[in-house]
Amino acid sequence: MNVDPLQVPLEDEPLIQEIRLLTDLIVAATETAGPLDDAEIDRALGLR
């Protein structure tokens, strides 16, 4: 049996979560005309 050592799953749960948070911030930023204030950032991150 020939196993390729480079064929490994590339899953990094903390990185995936960070990308989701960043994506949420990007979406929130595109929905506003100016910079996001602290409350809008918290809301986008699901903090309040």
CA neighbor of 44 nearest in space, from 17, 18, 34, 27: 27
Per-residue pLDDT tens digits for 1-48: 678 888 877 788 888 899 999 999 999 999 999 999 999 999 988 887
Helix (H) or strand (E) holding 22: helix 13-30
Rounded to two decimals, the pTM is 0.67
Is the CB of residue 41 less than 8 Å from the CB of residue 28?
yes
Residue 8 CA to residue 3 CA, distance in Å, equals 10
Residue 20 CA to residue 8 CA, distance in Å, equals 23
